[in-house]
Chains A and B, each alone.
Chain A
Amino acid sequence: MIYLDNSATTKPDPAVLESFNQVSRQYYGNPSSIHQFGGTAEKLLITAKKQAAEILQVEKEELIFTSGGTEGNNMAIKGVALEHQNRGKHIITSEIEHPSVFEACESLKKLGFEITYLPVNDKGVISISDLKAAIRDDTILISIMHVNNEIGSIQPIEEIGAIAGNYPKLFFHVDDVQGLGKVPLDLKKSGIDLCTYSGHKIHGLKGTGMLYVNKRTKLFPLFHGGSQESALRSGTENLAGIVAMVKALRLIKEKEKNEIAKMYEMQQFIMNEVKAIDGVNMNTPEEAAPHIVNISVPGIKPEVIIHMLGEQNIFISTKSACSSKLKDESKVLAACGFQADRTTSALRISLSYDNTMEEIKTFIGALKSAISEFKKALE
């Protein structure tokens, strides 16, 4: 099998699974139980958080363990909105956010919030002057993703943070689900108040994630109950999942340091090969995250190519898995200003550090023959 759908989810690292297994067997106590067995579980929980905080260079009190990216984004956006609505009811985000940001913002309209969606250029990047112009007296939140999940474009987070920093009433949230472990991001330097992470995108397990909440930021919790996670996220901690994720975090950060060049090399190879195929558009900009290549083959339904490749056990995807079930147009590509033939025929190839050049070459061969076969059938 050649798995090239790593932006949808990744294969759990065997070492991570081993940790999950061991924690589930040995440390199943509830960290909130006051007996010693619970105490050990709590200690493991704290140790895991400490390690994650060290890796991300934040304080351990600034990390909240969540169930993943969707929860993190909802917690950040609704949490800020509900807690600080007296300051104002205006939120700025972009047109290419993940549905968990977009829909969370849309839902707040029912509570009287106004949302400004910043447009992007054909490289999938917002403009700083648009952002500046959009900020109003009643703006309380800017939520911008770091790396786009469909095309891999990178937003100027540091610049946005510097602007947000001029407005003390304003909070700055970043969805870094796709960037973690692939595109370095300095939380402190970028002036970020909230940052969402997901475990299963970095070879951890589904149902795990983290939200960074810096010390100055107060949130209204979505889950009330036993006051776990500094009372921001009640519910018995998924200790095994958490430990697994933190291990995955450590492993991917080591790879980010040592193997990122290799991933860029694979991406560059795909881009060069694909550009040479007649009738294929490249949707991923030059300056992009190393793991995503998005192309369109106008005239061919993307499902057809997915299935043709699938027959050879090669797995890529159409748009992001999360929005694939909606309409057949990619909102992200439409926001980049591409025409309908291109926005409805997109394919996404997404890499992980596990992929090899050999796999990539096999995939390119299969893609080329799939396209030419399809064209022949039409003639």
Chain B
Amino acid sequence: MEFDHILIRYGEMALKGKNIKQFINQLQQNVQQKIKEFPGVKVKRTQGRMFVLLNGNDPKAVMEKCKNVFGTQSLSLAVKVENDVEKIKEAALYALNNGENIHKFKVTVKRINKDFPVRSQEMNQVLGGHLLTNTDGITVDVHHPDVEVKVEIRNEATYITSSVVPGLGGLPVGTSGKSLLLLSGGIDSPVAGFLSMKRGVEIEAIHFHSPPYTSERSKQKVLDLAKQLTKYGKSIKVHIVPFTKLQQEIFREMPDAYAMTIMRRMMFRISEKVCEQESILSLTTGENLGQVASQTMESMHTINEVTNYPIIRPLVTMDKQEVIELSHEIGTYETSILPYEDCCTIFVPKSPKTKPKRDKVNYYESTHDFTASIQEAVNGIETIKITDKKDPTETFHDLL
């Protein structure tokens, strides 16, 4: 006997009103997309539930992929058997034995098919007895079980599940439009990307690259981070902006203390242009309050002036430690801490203004025309599409 399908439960989505269909369709599509490498797996829906039919594939490997899809509340490996008492007993035992760290269990039988000869209550006892006699050191506890063995006797067949694996929650990516993530390579921005994806947002990323001050490796790092994010959503377009010239110009022409603020305003200006080209309606950043000198309310106020696009700042209320923990969980931390220069760590002024004022910045910017350099940066953008597939040219396949 082996688990032959995965039951997917979706939580919050069920609360959505008339457009629920759209959410569920998107979830089904996203799950299907994630597991398409497994031959023959199918995502099906019947009567308000979603199933992945495993078709002989490794249950754990498929589960690993499915639980990383936003919109899943929880998942369970399940066995489908004929409506036959002996078969159900066997399957229930299998499901119980395949959980981990189980000491206490309970059985819940739902008899939807009223033609089934044994009533739910009686079936409960039959199964409970069978499980107790065929396991060691496991007891029944109806109040605080480690696992609930659920048996649903339906018209077409009986479904048995036991362990419940938590999903990522949130909404299916693709149901909340698109946002452009400013991806620097640090710890924060990938986490910000992850969190906006959690609300169903599909992301593209923009990265400011300043060769030769920043290296190929720092660019690769950003692509690697984007790749890690694709694990939780769709493929991600990364727009690499050649930033050197504009950056040099800012630091040459603008007062030292304001250069950082103006650089960030330039980033937003360029990002907005990319949004226009790509029909994206918002920006996402890893900005936070009070973490480092430039992340002050004044700074945010002054930088934000240059765009009226909504800016999603998922980390704004989080402590640094929370961000770090989350980056560990989503697997971006180890890449984020690789010590390569990024465009924000070069040309660091000696004493950047921590409370920049809008009028001052506007005055300084009016003394020099950046239009041509901004346009040049936008024109020079290189767009790379990152998918969650392994890239054969980068895996050194012939060597390993």
Contact = CB atoms under 8 A, between A and B. Distances in A.
B1 interface: no
B220 A19 contact: no
Contacts of A12: none
B399 interface: yes
B136 interface: no
A36 B220 CA distance: 11
Given A43-B220, A47-B394, A61-B334, A34 B400 contact: no
The main secondary structure of chain A at its interface with chain B is helix
Contact of A44 (B216, B220, B399): B399
A290 to B, nearest CB: 24
Nearest to A61: B334
B394 A246 contact: no
Chain B, interface size category, equals: 10 to 19
Interface in A25-68: 34, 36, 39, 42-44, 47-48, 51, 60-61
B334 A247 contact: no
Contact of B396 (A34, A42, A44, A61): A44
B216 A47 contact: no
Contacts of B220: 39, 43
B217 A39 contact: yes
Given A43-B394, A61-B334, A51 B216 contact: no
B395 interface: yes
Given A43-B394, A47-B394, A61-B334, A247 B217 contact: no
Interface string B336-363: 0000000000000000000000000000
A42 B398 CA distance: 17
A299 B130 CA distance: 58
B215 interface: yes
The main secondary structure of chain B at its interface with chain A is loop
B342 to A, nearest CB: 14
Interface in A303-332: none
A243 B400 contact: yes
A23 interface: yes
B354 to A, nearest CB: 32
Nearest to B328: A215
Interface residues of A, number: 18
Contacts, number: 34
A247 B215 contact: no
B334 A246 contact: no
A22 B216 CA distance: 24
Contacts of A51: 400
B334 A36 contact: no
Contacts of A23: 399
Contacts of A42: 217
Contacts of B216: 36, 39
Contacts of B399: 19, 22-23, 44, 243, 247
A43 B221 CA distance: 11
A250 B220 CA distance: 26
Contacts of A36: 215-216
B394 A247 contact: no
A247 B395 CA distance: 12
Contact of B400 (A39, A60, A61, A246): A246
Nearest to A38: B217
Interface in A199-250: 243, 246-247, 250
A39 B215 contact: yes
B217 A48 contact: no
A226 to B, nearest CB: 13
Contacts of B394: 43, 47
Q: Which of B216, B395, B396, B398 has the most CB of A within 10 A?
A: B396
A23 B217 CA distance: 20
Nearest to B395: A47
Given A43-B394, A47-B394, A61-B334, A250 B217 contact: no
A374 to B, nearest CB: 48
Nearest to B397: A47
Contacts of B217: 34, 39, 42
A23 B396 CA distance: 10
Interface in B384-400: 394-396, 398-400
Interface string B198-223: 00000000000000000111001000
A47 B334 contact: no
A112 B65 CA distance: 50
Contacts of B396: 44, 47-48, 243
B251 to A, nearest CB: 23
B44 to A, nearest CB: 30
A201 to B, nearest CB: 19
A47 B215 contact: no
A51 B399 CA distance: 11
A48 B215 contact: no
Q: Which of B334, B398, B400 has the most CB of A within 10 A?
A: B400
B227 to A, nearest CB: 12
A274 B395 CA distance: 47
A28 to B, nearest CB: 13
A244 to B, nearest CB: 9
Contacts of B400: 19, 47-48, 51, 243, 246-247, 250
Nearest to B215: A34
A250 B215 CA distance: 32
Contacts of A47: 394-396, 400
Contacts of A19: 399-400
Contacts of A39: 215-217, 220
Contacts of A22: 398-399
Contacts of B398: 22
Interface of A: 19, 22-23, 34, 36, 39, 42-44, 47-48, 51, 60-61, 243, 246-247, 250
Lowest 6 CB-CB distances: which A-B pairs, in order? A19-B399, A39-B217, A47-B396, A51-B400, A243-B399, A44-B396
Interface of B: 215-217, 220, 334, 394-396, 398-400
Given A34-B215, A47-B396, A247-B399, 5 more contacts: A39-B220, A42-B217, A44-B396, A44-B399, A61-B334
28 contacts: A19-B399, A19-B400, A22-B398, A22-B399, A23-B399, A34-B215, A34-B217, A36-B215, A36-B216, A39-B215, A39-B216, A39-B220, A42-B217, A43-B220, A44-B399, A47-B395, A47-B396, A47-B400, A48-B396, A48-B400, A60-B334, A61-B334, A243-B396, A243-B399, A243-B400, A246-B400, A247-B399, A247-B400
